[in-house]
Structure 1
Amino acid sequence: MLPARSRLRASADFQSAMRRGTRAGRRTLVVHIALTGDAERMAGFAVSKAVGGAVVRNRVKRRLRALMADRIDHLPAGSRVVVRALPDAADAEFSTLARELDDALGSAVRKASR
């Protein structure tokens, strides 16, 4: 599980990562990443009603949190990541979400590091 200290919670943090950061999209999700230079790596999740009802949205969020828990320590220091789920995430297999998250994170980190 993603540690509480690693979760983005403030609206300003989400806006900052999404507006000033770089992004990489895949069929099921879009990753926004901003490199702030802080020591802490943090992640947040945006799952809109377009993904589905409350049960579906919560399932998608739980899956994304579990996937990010394994990956957050491999991100550059000071990373602020927002993972935005797209409607196709509702029907995606866990392995598909994992693969697309890895691809999008890798692409976004490369763009942000330039």
Structure 2
Amino acid sequence: MLAKANRITRGADYRATVRRGIRFTDANTVTYVRSNPDSQVVRFGFIAGKSVGTAPRRNLVRRRLKAAAYEMLPRLEPGMDVVIRALPASAQVEWATLHEEISRAVSRITSRGNLRR
């Protein structure tokens, strides 16, 4: 489970990351990344809208995304905000598939080097 320090909790931070961050699109997720000079840790946020399914299905998808993000924490540099949006197809895929997509997005983030400020 992600510690409270590693979670985006304010709507303004979600909006800033989605609007001004770099976007990585995959089959089941869209990952937005933004450098946050005010933060000393990596922070994650998750979006699973009603198009993903019923509340239990959305919560399952969100828990899977959180578990994948927790494993990616050591690979990211402090001061990054990452928002992962679950697409409707994510409700039907296994955890391993979501984990692979998040891992691929993190690899693209780390290989990209400097992010926009």
* Length-normalised TM-score, structure 1: 0.92
Query: Is it true that 1:25 corresponds to 2:25 in the alignment?
Result: yes
Identity across aligned pairs (percent)?
32
2:54 match: 53
SS in 2 for 1:67: helix
Q: Is the 8 A contact 1:18 1:82 kept in 2?
A: yes
1:93 match: 94
2:63 match: 62
1:7 match: 7
CA distance in structure 2 between the partners assigned to 1:89 and 1:39 by the alignment? 31
Structure 1 stretches of at least 4 aligned residues deviating more than 4 Å after TM superposition:
none
CA distance in structure 1 between the partners assigned to 2:41 and 2:4 by the alignment? 12
Q: Which runs of 5+ in 1 are unaligned?
A: none
Q: Which runs of 5+ in 2 are unaligned?
A: none
Q: Is the 8 A contact 2:75 2:106 kept in 1?
A: no
* Length-normalised TM-score, structure 2: 0.90
Q: CA RMSD in A?
A: 1.4
Task: Tell me the alpha carbon deviations over residues 15-74 of structure 1, each in whole angstroms, 9 at most, x when there is no partner.
Answer: 111111101010000000001233121000000000000010000001111111111232
CA distance in structure 2 between the partners assigned to 1:110 and 1:23 by the alignment? 14
Q: 1:18 to 1:109 in 2, by over 3 A?
A: farther
The letter for the 2-side match of 1:49 is K
SS in 2 for 1:46: strand
1:71 match: 72
